[in-house]
Amino acid sequence: MADIKLFNIKGHVEELQSKQITLEKELQQLLEDNMNTFFGVTFLKSEYRITNGRMDSIGIDENNCPVIFEYKRSLNENVINQGLFYLDWLLDHKADFKLLVMEILGQEKAEAIDWSMPCVICVANDFTKFDEHAVNQMQRNIKLVKYKKFGDNLISLEYLNAPQVQPITFEDTPAKPVKKSNWKDKDFKQYFAEAGEKNQNLFYSVRDYVMSLGDDVSENQLKLYVAFKKVRNIVCAEVYQSYVCLHIRINPDSVELVQGFTEDVRNKGHWGTGDLRIYLKSVEDFEKAKALIDRAYNEN
């Protein structure tokens, strides 16, 4: 894998030499103390004990999905397999995680947990090409993050992969809408199935465009919406019978709002993340939205 080189260009140009952090506690403490800044994850607990081991760190992300962190302390340590084991354990013990969230963040956050896309983040000074290949073959939400420290005050975190999940297809959704139910009981797939071919294709166009912006974008199909993310969500999409709704991570104050097309939702409850809402009712609306989607990608 290519190495990252960092240079100080103030005055005399010089290369900053990277060095490995002792992973026993120093890096783990740094990442736990700044987990939201580095990963967009709210830290819950360190050394979370389970029946057959303990997870290095555990948190919950902006989509209310559980996130497990494992730190590779030696070349031969297989943190990927460890992470998979812990992930399977967590899926079999959802009540334990809910209780942890309830104790730290409260009842409302615990009730909002989304099990659609739990994640394992493996952090190491280096990974082999076989590690990355193995993760890509697993088709599980596992992220490999390589760290380097430069001098005393700089650290880099390089995401080596962007996990991809199986895309939604027409075959995944029922040919006819399921019997009418309260809107609160519906999930994304049901809304998608009831949206009709026009808005389904409009969503596909959005997805293809966002995913084409870079290899660092991943698609997370959650219970109530689809999130496209780098480190954090950049675009969240919902599909309805009348329109496709996007929530974009852009400051609404920096956009000239157009009634019926864009809206400031900072003070309005909504699914997904992002303070700017965009309503797409046609291909022309999608073409207008591309510039805002580009901004969300480039600014986050």
Residues of the chain predicted below pLDDT 70: 1-3, 20-24, 74-76, 163-185
Model pLDDT, residue 110: 96
Model pLDDT, residue 165: 54
Q: Give me the DSSP letters along the chain.
A: -PPP-EEE-SSS-EEEPEE---TTTHHHHHHHHTHHHHHSEEEEEEEEEETTEEEEEEEEETTS-EEEEEE--STT--HHHHHHHHHHHHHH-HHHHHHHHHHHH-HHHHHT---SS-EEEEEES---HHHHHHHHHHTSSEEEEEEEEETTTEEEEEE------PPP-GGGS-SSPPSP--GGG--HHHHHHHS-HHHHHHHHHHHHHHHTT-TT-EEEE-SS-EEEESSSEEEEEEE-SS-EEEEESS-GGGS---TTTEEE-TTS--SSS-SEEEEE-SHHHHHHHHHHHHHHHHH-
Model pLDDT, residue 279: 97
pTM of the model: 0.81
Model pLDDT, residue 166: 53
Q: What is the pLDDT of residues 107-119, one digit of tens each?
A: 999 999 999 999 9
Cβ–Cβ under 8 Å, residues 286 and 293: no
